[in-house]
Amino acid sequence: MSRDVGEFLVKKSPFNFEESDIYDDAIEDIKKIKVLCVGAGGLGCEILKNLGLMGFKDIDVVDMDTISLTNLNR
């Protein structure tokens, strides 16, 4: 479990449950899910970053863009 997600899920608040087993199962399921991201442009790169930070392990990316000087920042 990633440290940031774990701290958020374990934090005591009126909106979370006392049973953390539910969240541990959800985190384990996230690691098994396969994700396909089509396009790694302006929105796709942010989505890919967020998926990686959430803990997804199997991410495939399809991007048909060609490399040029204008899109090297991606």
What does the DSSP assignment read for 9-72? Answer: HHS--TTS-S-THHHHHHHHHHHH-EEEEE--SHHHHHHHHHHHHHT--EEEEE--PPP-GGGT
Residue 67 has pLDDT above 80, yes or no: no
The pLDDT confidence band at residue 60, using thresholds 50, 70 and 90, is very high
The pLDDT confidence band at residue 38, using thresholds 50, 70 and 90, is very high
Retrieve residue 48's tokens: 């890919």
pTM over 0.85: no
Pairing type for strands 34-38 and 58-62 reads: parallel
Residue 35 has pLDDT above 90, yes or no: yes
What does R_g of the chain's alpha carbons equal in angstroms? 16
Q: What is the mean pLDDT of the chain?
A: 78
Element (DSSP H or E) covering residue 8: helix 3-10
